[in-house]
Chains A and B, each alone.
Chain A
Amino acid sequence: MAFSNKNPSIPEENWTLIVKPKTNWFDLHLSDVWRYRDLVAMFVKRDFISAYKQTILGPLWFLIQPLCATYLFLFVFSDIAHISTGNVPAVLFYLSSLTVWNYFATCFNKTSGTFTSNSTLFGKVYFPRLVSPVSTIISTLVTFFIQFLLFISFLFYYILFKGNQFHFNLYLLLIPYLIILMGALGLGSGIIISSLTTKYRDLANLVAFGVQLLMYLTTVVYPLSSITGKKRMIVLLNPMTSIIESFRYAFFPLGRFRWDLLGYSTAFTVLILFTGILLFNRTEKSFMDTV
């Protein structure tokens, strides 16, 4: 909503808040989100606590899901379809891809329903609406770290007991950057969908299966090196491809590191995030009337 600290037309009046029907597109008031950082923290805590309350296994569920998916992938793609995972053990290959992909997919899925699923809360009290998707990104990060630890323990198991050799390299330092990039990409695309679906819900139907289809256009179940030609172009256009490739490259000797592709993903993410925030701020003012 329109928020500015000064009103140029009546400088002598010192209003703290001026609300108008229309505002400048670039009036993003991101500082507001920062002022509500305690709320972000509370939302993260709420998401984490409420997810596994009244379950016996508790946070262990965070591990069961990727393990099951990994073994299903092993069965379908490795045993039946015989898709090569290069010189990397298939379990590690799938587990690493899934850990990364799950983070992006969860961020995207959850934030794409920001307006519709929070409408009762948003209808009763004002706070910068961006607080909600931002806290989702952070609480999903907790899940990511737990799954990441699972991956790391499998990695050490293979090194210690199976004698596999991996070339750990300096690109490991890029991992935090990759995580931020994924979070931003998931947030950006999620809030774009969320903003576009307050009035017309059509797009929301696309998201759930769209994300699933997108997984097969990303190098989750196969290495980039295994595809060639036009198909390779399509897969490369997907900004998630280079993120997953870079992540795996930090652990395994697979292909080669491509700064140009990572640069492309970064530019793409910045564009998506910026567009997302613009649309989101535009929508948050009046979505209650149409949601």
Chain B
Amino acid sequence: MSETVIKIENLSKQYRLGMVGTGTLSHDLKRWWYIVRGKEDPYLKVGEVNKRDTKGKSEYVWALKDINFEVKKGEVLGIIGKNGAGKSTLLKILSRITAPTTGEFKVRGRIASLLEVGTGFHPELTGRENIFLNGAILGMTKAEIKNKFDEIVAFSGVERYIDTPVKRYSSGMYVRLAFAVAAHLEPEILIIDEVLSVGDADFQKKCLGKMKDVAGEGRTVLFVSHNMTAVKSLCPNSIMLKNGEIIKRGPSAEVIDTYLNDEMQIDMEKEWHPGDAPGNDKVRLLKASIYSTDIKAKGKLTTESEIELSFTFQNFIKNGNINISIHFCALDDFIIFSSGSNFISTSSELLTFKCRIPGNLLNSIVYKLDVLYVNDSKVEFSFSHCLQFEIHETERNGAWFGKWAGVIRPQLSWEESD
């Protein structure tokens, strides 16, 4: 087994919510008084798990709670989790931007972190000057930067503008230059936060290639990202954080599955009691759900899997001629397409409509679904945003991990010749 280069022991971080003001002073004084008497900080005993969406009783929350893990030399470890799971807090502590509340961590070797590209860039300085400034901020010496200067400029592809103040740069050029400096850091341990989401596809490819090189050189990398495809391809192992705690550690594929399943619970299925179901005196919606018919997908909606929609209504219309329509909307409520069921002449009280969407039609984005209940071409009831769901990317081959453009992604037949 190779040596451990990062060892994290019982690391916790507590934050106080709300504003800093006059009220904070009394807590500070109380804390100080306990410490003067040699007692433990009273506020360390309080504090709740960090859940954003529920209202807590305590003013104190634990952004991280008892984190323990080790990283071996040369390991490339992914860190995933929802927004607010504690990823950024963990990175901030490891980058020494803020200190832990309790616990400690130890590091062997030079550590550099990249929480943002272009940190400390000064708009008035030229590209050349900013390379030196940014490099120095990231911990390089002047001599090191000088040695790599030509390489950095070549990588960035902004040779022509190198003596122009960076405020005249396009945002793309700015990011390219910034990433180029960062990519030429040579620490033993590198901590990277979501920096790949910048630049065009071409540049992203270059960045990922560079990251793969770094990992291949036997350096230790901690990589935080929301881009599961990139995590899967770069990191053999991952850690999943949830509410400040490590939920799972293991091979990236497994951890990502856990993460996606955990994420998906929102609005893929809704069920109401007849008493409080949405609707009116003509119709009430009892149940709406979306699921994958593909058993291998384990309930996950992917771009390739066939998906089924199911709606159950309580119908009060006698001798109706009924059909339903669905609207597929993007997150900005733009209707991408709609589809209607066949008409059914019925008086029965319970109606179920099912609809199948073939695989390889939807793109890997979040969709919202509206449903309309129609009797004799008259809309009796409509329910906007009845369901909301995300279609996930399937594992892809190739070097490009960016999003496919477009609101749908049908598979078309292609023919190539030369």
Q: Interface of A with B (CB < 8 Å)?
A: 1-2, 7, 13-21, 36, 38-39, 41-43, 45-46, 49-50, 53-54, 121-127, 199-200, 285-286, 288-290
Chain B residues with CB under 8 Å of A126's CB are 95-97, 113
Chain A residues with CB under 8 Å of B136's CB are 36, 38-39, 41-42
Question: Complex formed: what's the CA distance from A38 to B104 in Å?
Answer: 30
Chain A residues with CB under 8 Å of B105's CB are 18-19
List 7 A-B pairs, minimum CB-CB distance, nearest first.
Answer: A285-B99, A126-B96, A39-B136, A17-B107, A15-B106, A20-B104, A53-B124
With A124-B97, A125-B113 given, is the CB distance from A200 to B20 under 8 Å? yes
Question: Complex formed: what's the CA distance from A127 to B7 in Å?
Answer: 21
Mark each residue of chain B from 69 to 85: 1 if its CB lies under 8 Å from any CB of chain A, else 0.
00000000000000000
Question: Complex formed: what's the CA distance from A95 to B18 in Å?
Answer: 50
Chain A residues with CB under 8 Å of B222's CB are none
Chain B residues with CB under 8 Å of A2's CB are 99, 104
Mark each residue of chain B from 98 to 114: 1 if its CB lies under 8 Å from any CB of chain A, else 0.
11111111111111010
Chain B residues with CB under 8 Å of A53's CB are 124, 165
Q: Are B142 and A38 in contact (CB under 8 A)?
A: yes
Contacts between chains A and B (CB distance < 8 A), count: 111
Question: Complex formed: what's the CA distance from A14 to B15 in Å?
Answer: 32
- Shortest CB-to-CB span from A95 to chain B, Å, is 30
With A38-B141, A46-B125, A289-B98 given, is the CB distance from A125 to B119 under 8 Å? yes
Q: How many residues of B contact A (CB 8 A)?
A: 44
Question: Complex formed: what's the CA distance from A253 to B110 in Å?
Answer: 57
With A16-B107, A19-B104 given, is the CB distance from A288 to B124 under 8 Å? no
In the assembled complex, B122 has its CB within 8 A of some CB on chain A? yes
Q: Are B108 and A15 in contact (CB under 8 A)?
A: yes
- Shortest CB-to-CB span from B179 to chain A, Å, is 14
Question: Complex formed: what's the CA distance from A288 to B97 in Å?
Answer: 7
Q: Which of B20, B103, B109 contacts A16 (CB 8 A)?
A: B109
- Shortest CB-to-CB span from A265 to chain B, Å, is 33
With A46-B122, A124-B115, A125-B119 given, is the CB distance from A19 to B92 under 8 Å? no
Question: Complex formed: what's the CA distance from A7 to B105 in Å?
Answer: 12
In the assembled complex, B393 has its CB within 8 A of some CB on chain A? no
Q: Are B92 and A199 in contact (CB under 8 A)?
A: no
**Nearest residue in A to B116 (C-beta to C-beta)?**
A124
Question: Complex formed: what's the CA distance from A2 to B100 in Å?
Answer: 11
- Shortest CB-to-CB span from A175 to chain B, Å, is 30
In the assembled complex, B267 has its CB within 8 A of some CB on chain A? no
Question: Complex formed: what's the CA distance from A1 to B92 in Å?
Answer: 12
Chain A residues with CB under 8 Å of B24's CB are 199
Question: Complex formed: what's the CA distance from A20 to B165 in Å?
Answer: 41
In the assembled complex, B132 has its CB within 8 A of some CB on chain A? yes
Q: Are B125 and A286 in contact (CB under 8 A)?
A: no
Chain B residues with CB under 8 Å of A124's CB are 97, 115-116, 119
11 contacts between A and B (CB under 8 A): A16-B107, A19-B99, A19-B105, A41-B136, A42-B137, A46-B122, A53-B124, A123-B92, A124-B115, A126-B95, A288-B98
Q: Which of B20, B115, B120 contacts A199 (CB 8 A)?
A: B20
Q: Are B133 and A127 in contact (CB under 8 A)?
A: no
- Shortest CB-to-CB span from A21 to chain B, Å, is 5
Q: Are B108 and A16 in contact (CB under 8 A)?
A: yes
| Apart from the given pairs A14-B108, A17-B106, 16 other A-B contacts in the complex at a CB distance below 8 Å | A1-B96, A19-B93, A20-B100, A21-B99, A21-B101, A21-B103, A54-B124, A123-B97, A126-B95, A199-B20, A199-B24, A199-B28, A285-B98, A286-B98, A288-B92, A289-B98
Q: Are B102 and A21 in contact (CB under 8 A)?
A: yes
Chain B residues with CB under 8 Å of A41's CB are 136, 142
**Nearest residue in A to B132 (C-beta to C-beta)?**
A42
**Nearest residue in A to B115 (C-beta to C-beta)?**
A124
**Nearest residue in B to A39 (C-beta to C-beta)?**
B136
Chain B residues with CB under 8 Å of A45's CB are 129, 133
Chain A residues with CB under 8 Å of B109's CB are 16
In the assembled complex, B139 has its CB within 8 A of some CB on chain A? yes
* Residue of B103, B116, B120, B133 with most chain A CB atoms under a 10 A cut-off: B120
Chain B residues with CB under 8 Å of A290's CB are 20
Chain A residues with CB under 8 Å of B93's CB are 19
- Shortest CB-to-CB span from A163 to chain B, Å, is 46
**Nearest residue in A to B95 (C-beta to C-beta)?**
A126
**Nearest residue in A to B99 (C-beta to C-beta)?**
A285
Question: Complex formed: what's the CA distance from A290 to B99 in Å?
Answer: 12
Q: Are B125 and A49 in contact (CB under 8 A)?
A: yes
Question: Complex formed: what's the CA distance from A265 to B25 in Å?
Answer: 34
Question: Complex formed: what's the CA distance from A84 to B345 in Å?
Answer: 108
Mark each residue of chain B from 275 to 308: 1 if its CB lies under 8 Å from any CB of chain A, else 0.
0000000000000000000000000000000000
**Nearest residue in B to A118 (C-beta to C-beta)?**
B120
Q: Are B107 and A286 in contact (CB under 8 A)?
A: no
- Shortest CB-to-CB span from B354 to chain A, Å, is 51
Q: Are B97 and A125 in contact (CB under 8 A)?
A: yes
In the assembled complex, B138 has its CB within 8 A of some CB on chain A? yes
- Shortest CB-to-CB span from A39 to chain B, Å, is 4
- Shortest CB-to-CB span from A58 to chain B, Å, is 13
Chain A residues with CB under 8 Å of B139's CB are 36, 127
Chain B residues with CB under 8 Å of A17's CB are 106-108, 111
Chain B residues with CB under 8 Å of A13's CB are 106
